[in-house]
């Protein structure tokens, strides 16, 4: 089985333009992500899919592989799907976002473990136990509820579940890593946005609303994603880097 890792990296982010090229310590963020993904030897190839020539040149400058994709993609998954079409030999496609410089090897291994263990889920993702004090009522923390087989029931920004009775019902924090069979990725990218997806601003709901399943792989730890300059400052404090915007 050949598993391709694709890192979508868009330059014109609304909340943080140019963020793949910000410097964290001695490397750009996109280099941090690329090198973290390369540490997972189950990927036969790692590529960055971008709409920006400067990002592509930066990736190639540190020895990575990049492909230029359309500027018109509405989501990172659409960009990943375009890139995947160029690698016909790939059986499974992993989507690791370009704003996840602190992604851990355990997360990547768990993400693709169902495929390596002989399962063929349409799609997998990763989650960790929710910090109830900090995350339960925070709409920026995406929650996922699962059935007893770790299939996703729903993803939401809301405070769920509602604890009418005392209970230890598990709730997880979703981490934005995805993997797909190549066939399903191309099918998914052809589907129109769905009502709950648009309402919550969570593209993975398109999968559930169309009746497909997502296998949720549980890990122990959370990770920081860099969505805003404030996130970058938080990373500096946590990891002790000198962080500068390019």
Chain segment 65-85, per-residue pLDDT in tens: 999 998 888 888 999 999 999
pLDDT tens readout for residues 10-43: 887 766 778 899 888 889 999 999 999 999 999 9
Lowest-pLDDT choice from 56-70, 204-218, 225-239: 225-239
**Cβ-contact 123, 188 below 8 angstroms:** yes
pLDDT at 93 over 80: yes
Look up the CATH number of domain 1-103+223-246: 3.90.550.10
Strands 243-244 and 92-96: unpaired
Task: Give the single-character DSSP code of 151.
Answer: B
Question: Looking at residue 246, what is its pLDDT?
Answer: 39
**Tokens at 95, concatenated:** 């989507």
Predicted model pTM? 0.91
93/238: higher pLDDT: 93
Mean pLDDT along residues 153-168: 93
Closest by CA to 136, choosing from 103, 163, 102, 154, is 163
User: 168: which residues sit within 8 A by CB, 6+ positions away?
Assistant: none
7/230: higher pLDDT: 7
Residue-wise burial string across 169-185, b where 16 or more C-beta atoms lie within 10 A, e elsewhere: eebbbbbbbbbbbbebb
Task: Report the distance separating Cα 141 and Cα 135, nearest Å.
Answer: 6
**Tokens at 8, concatenated:** 């979508």
Task: Report the distance separating Cα 39 and Cα 37, nearest Å.
Answer: 5
pLDDT at 231 over 90: no
Helix residue spans in the chain (DSSP H): 29-38, 53-61, 76-84, 105-116, 132-135, 182-189, 195-200, 205-209, 229-239
Question: Looking at residue 240, what is its pLDDT?
Answer: 63
Tokens 């059935």 belong to: 147
Question: Looking at residue 229, what is its pLDDT?
Answer: 80
Closest by CA to 104, choosing from 51, 36, 57, 42, is 36
SS3 207: helix
**Cβ-contact 151, 214 below 8 angstroms:** yes
Categorize the per-residue pLDDT at 228 as very low, low, confident or very high, splitting at 50, 70 and 90: confident
């Amino acid at each position: 089985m050949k598993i391709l890792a694709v890192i979508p990296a868009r330059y014109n982010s609304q909340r943080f333009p140019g963020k793949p090229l910000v410097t964290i310590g001695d490397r750009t963020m996109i280099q941090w992500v690329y090198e973290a993904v390369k540490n997972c030897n189950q990927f036969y190839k790692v590529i960055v899919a971008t709409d920006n020539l400067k990002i592509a040149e930066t990736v190639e400058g540190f020895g990575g592989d990049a492909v230029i994709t359309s500027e018109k993609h509405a989501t990172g998954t659409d960009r990943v799907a375009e890139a995947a079409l160029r690698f016909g030999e790939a059986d499974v496609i992993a989507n690791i976002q370009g704003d996840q410089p602190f992604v851990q090897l355990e997360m990547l291994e768990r993400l693709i473990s169902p495929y390596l263990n002989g399962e063929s889920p349409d799609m997998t993702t990763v989650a960790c136990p929710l910090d109830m004090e900090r995350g339960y009522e925070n709409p920026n923390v995406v929650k996922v509820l699962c059935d007893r087989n770790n299939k996703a029931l729903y993803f939401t920004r809301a405070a769920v579940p509602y604890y009418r009775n005392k209970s230890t019902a598990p709730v997880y924090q979703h981490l934005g890593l995805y993997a797909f069979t190549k066939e399903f990725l191309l099918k998914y990218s052809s589907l129109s946005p769905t009502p709950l997806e648009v309402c919550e601003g969570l593209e993975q709901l398109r999968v559930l609303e169309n009746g497909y399943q997502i296998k949720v792989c549980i890990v122990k730890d959370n990770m920081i994603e860099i969505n805003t300059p404030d996130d970058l400052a938080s990373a500096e404090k946590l990891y002790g880097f000198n962080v500068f915007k390019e």
